[in-house]
């Protein structure tokens, strides 16, 4: 009986020690960045009323870089669409970047001041919307959580080609105009 009680006490001590270590590591790693010093606030009174000017300025270059990180040409959703056949079974996570871009565009995350970039982004957005709509109508989730396109694969290939052409044009013009 004493052995069982001693094991529970030992477990309790180990549990408390590990819990405290996790809390200390969390505080050190994550709350360190949240400490603010008075010297960090070197801006004029007019900037206080406009919180956007206190943060990183929002401009076309920042917006384009955010887009480019979400949908890089050599990884993620764009790479998947460029290099995979829709007749194969695949996990829908392969399209996470496309879904995120679509949702963020609905919430006006990517609004370019440059009219040409905004028009190219809108063309790409509409191509994404058409693809996702057609994909969702023509695919079926398997029992293991993967997706298989049931029919209209040729239609999806045409939409993917259009989507990739619009993506390539948007990226090319964006990099050229923003000098990236």
Could you tell me if 102 and 172 lie in one domain?
yes
- CB-CB neighbours of 117 under 10 Å: 21
In a domain, 18, yes or no: yes
8 A C-beta contact, residue 77 and residue 71: yes
Span 117-138, average pLDDT:
92
Q: In the predicted model, is pLDDT for residue 76 greater than 50?
A: yes
Could you tell me if 150 and 69 lie in one domain?
yes
In a domain, 107, yes or no: yes
Q: Which residue carries 């206080």 as its tokens?
A: 48
Full-model pTM: 0.64
For the segment 96-121, what is each residue's pLDDT rounded down to a tens digit? 999 999 999 888 888 889 899 999 99
For residue 68, give the H/E element and its range. helix 60-70
In a domain, 108, yes or no: yes
**140 confidence band (pLDDT: 50, 70, 90):** confident
Could you tell me if 30 and 66 lie in one domain?
no
What's the number of domains the chain is made of? 2
Could you tell me if 14 and 69 lie in one domain?
no
**Residue 26 sits in which domain range?**
2-35
In a domain, 113, yes or no: yes
Residue 74 tokens, joined:
């050599």
**157 confidence band (pLDDT: 50, 70, 90):** confident
In a domain, 80, yes or no: yes
Q: Which residue carries 């270059």 as its tokens?
A: 61
38 against 73, higher pLDDT: 73
**24 confidence band (pLDDT: 50, 70, 90):** very low
Of 124, 116, 114, the closest CA to residue 67 belongs to: 124
In a domain, 94, yes or no: yes
In a domain, 162, yes or no: yes
């Amino acid at each position: 009986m004493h052995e069982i009680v001693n094991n529970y006490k030992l477990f309790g001590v180990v549990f408390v020690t590990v819990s405290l270590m996790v809390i200390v590591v969390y505080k050190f790693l994550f709350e360190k960045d949240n400490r603010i010093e008075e010297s960090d606030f070197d801006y004029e009174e007019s900037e206080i009323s406009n919180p956007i000017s206190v943060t990183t300025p929002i401009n076309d270059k920042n917006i384009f870089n955010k887009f480019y990180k979400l949908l890089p040409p050599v990884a993620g959703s764009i790479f998947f669409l460029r290099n995979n056949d829709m007749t194969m079974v695949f996990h829908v996570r392969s399209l996470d970047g496309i879904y995120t871009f679509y949702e963020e565009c609905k919430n006006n995350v990517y609004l370019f001041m440059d009219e040409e970039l905004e028009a190219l982004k809108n063309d790409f957005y509409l191509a994404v919307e058409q693809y996702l709509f057609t994909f969702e109508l023509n695919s079926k989730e398997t029992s293991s959580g993967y997706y298989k396109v049931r029919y209209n694969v040729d239609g999806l290939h045409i939409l993917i080609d259009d989507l990739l052409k619009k993506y390539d044009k948007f990226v090319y013009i964006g990099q050229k105009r923003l000098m990236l």
